[in-house]
Amino acid sequence: MDSEEHAREKMVREQIQRRGVNDPNVLAAMRTVPRHCFVEKDLQRMAYHDRPLPIGFDQTISQPYIVAYMTAQLQLKPEDTVLEIGTGSGYQAAVLSRLVRQVYTIERFQALADIARDRMVQLNYDNVQVIYQDGSLGLKNYAPFDAILIGAASPAIPQPLIEQLKVGGRIILPVGGSGHQILQRIKKLSDGSLETEELIPVVFVPLRGFYGWHEDDWK
């Protein structure tokens, strides 16, 4: 076992399993995806620490526990198609890709989208498609989705994402502003209504876009 594999194993054991995430498929994905490949070289020594890290443009790669926790809460199946909002470095999309048939991920910063797309090619994650656009609008051409993961805090669930979710599908997202955010899991019921469950307090960067926070509103 090389040093990175050892660090991932320790990360899974001490940061993720110890805090209650025990889905074996999620744990296997977290052991497999090389987080150090999704951060800048000068930060790679901290890649498996229990903390978010900056990736440029005032964005971050989430701490490993949060990535694992949000992924587990989606209760994914191998045949699922998943939409991710907020590609960032591409790490969360890579984890999702080990669990499902197809991942579409949207990033609003073109430079980050380009970097993430290149990483997917280099690491052979060929079931991930990175798209540069306003993530709050979703991806109508590829809908409906079995699950949607939003990696940025929204004032509310963007309406297009509700419409693009299959009946029985799940959305997980942080809802709130800079001072208070709650991670929510939403399930779309057969009559089109939503079942909402509040999970844990979190801290995320704001979701920007038409259905997200605008510059003057983030507070």
| Catalytically annotated residues | 62
Buried b (16+ CB within 10 A) or exposed e, 32-64: ebbbbbbbeeeebeebbeeebbebeeebbbbbb
- Copy the structure tokens of residue 137: 């609008």
> CA 83 from chain center: how many Å?
9
DSSP symbol at 135: G
**3-state SS, residue 179:** coil
Report whether 87 contacts 150 (CB < 8 A): no
What gap in Å lies between CA 116 and CA 109, rounded to an integer?
11
CA distance 187 to 189: 6
Contact by Cβ (8 Å): 51, 15: no
Give the integer Cα–Cα distance in Å for 200 and 213.
21
**Distance between CA 28 and CA 99 in Å, rounded?**
9
